[in-house]
Amino acid sequence: MTTTVFENRSEAGKRLAGELSAYGGREDVVVLGLPRGGVVVAYEVALALEAPLDLFMVRKLGVPSRPEVALGAIATGDVQFLNYELLEVLGLSAQTLASLIVREKRELARCERAYRERREALPIAGCAVILVDDGVATGSSVSAAVEALRMHRAARIVVAIPVGAEPACDKLRNKVDELVCLVEPETFQSVGEWYEDFDQVTDREVRQLLRRARELRIVAAHESSPASVDYLDRAS
């Protein structure tokens, strides 16, 4: 039987930040959250480390008949990651795959425009990047993001997640400079099973978090108790 580990994404982020304290206060550190749930976790990490927060766009490529099953992902920078073994098993046509990729690229571009509110992305080249998500099942989305970050010339890539399936975490360790994962259960069905509250995060919440993180760095860097994610307006 699964035992819930985290109260919500905010609490998971605070616990994750405790394992990343070595990166606190460093001028070369950038925290990137994967939308949407990963941004909530990343917000708490960025606050604790006193680091700038931004998002990094990745879209899962779901199997047409079973969208919850990832056959790959695409990321900012025209990067894509495909599970060729799964593609071979499914026998998916090149035309179907191409259509799927085009559709997800359009959605990625739409989301980036909506989330950023016309602000430029933070520079990544030469930085120690902490890439945060709320959990990893297959690792497809994170793997795509890692490939894109290398194209952007990140100096160091740290993947930080509250919970991850063992096989996915093992693969990620070979791709990044450091993997920080709080829980790697032997039996893993979904990320949500490890959270008491795993409600869907809205676009509005993502915008609020990014805006609040910027404001806190500019206006209230000296405050000892910054506003918590728990007080966000959760209206969609």
Query: What average pLDDT does this structure show over 83-111?
Result: 90
Q: Of all residues in the chain, what percent carry a pLDDT higher than 90?
A: 58
| 71 in a structural domain | no
| 115 in a structural domain | no
Q: What is the pLDDT of residue 9?
A: 98
What the block records as the tokens of 70 is 């990832």
Domain span at residue 205 reads 9-57+120-231
pLDDT 10s digits, 135-146 = 999 888 898 899
Residue 196 has pLDDT above 50, yes or no: yes
| 15 in a structural domain | yes
Q: What is the pLDDT of residue 1?
A: 44
Query: Regarding predicted confidence, which is higher, 133 or 230?
Result: 133
Query: Would the pTM count as exceeding 0.85?
Result: no
Q: What is the pLDDT of residue 178?
A: 98
Residue 180 has pLDDT above 70, yes or no: yes
Residue 194 has pLDDT above 90, yes or no: yes
CATH number at residue 27: 3.40.50.2020
What whole-number distance in Å separates Cα of residue 146 and Cα of residue 75?
Answer: 9
- Per the CB < 8 A criterion, the answer to whether 75 and 58 are in contact is yes
What whole-number distance in Å separates Cα of residue 157 and Cα of residue 183?
Answer: 20
- In the chain, the number of structural domains is 1
| 113 in a structural domain | no
| 98 in a structural domain | no
What whole-number distance in Å separates Cα of residue 116 and Cα of residue 54?
Answer: 9
| 105 in a structural domain | no
| 2 in a structural domain | no
Query: Regarding predicted confidence, which is higher, 8 or 63?
Result: 8
Q: What is the pLDDT of residue 233?
A: 45
Q: How confident is the model at residue 228 (pLDDT cuts 50, 70, 90)?
A: very low
| 37 in a structural domain | yes
Q: Phi and psi (nearest 5°) for 38?
A: -65, -25
Residue 117 has pLDDT above 90, yes or no: no
Residue 231 has pLDDT above 50, yes or no: no
Average pLDDT over all residues of the chain: 87
Query: What average pLDDT does this structure show over 62-70?
Result: 82
Q: What is the pLDDT of residue 29?
A: 97
Q: How confident is the model at residue 3 (pLDDT cuts 50, 70, 90)?
A: low
What the block records as the tokens of 33 is 């959250």
Q: What is the pLDDT of residue 235?
A: 38
pLDDT 10s digits, 198-218 = 999 999 999 999 999 998 876
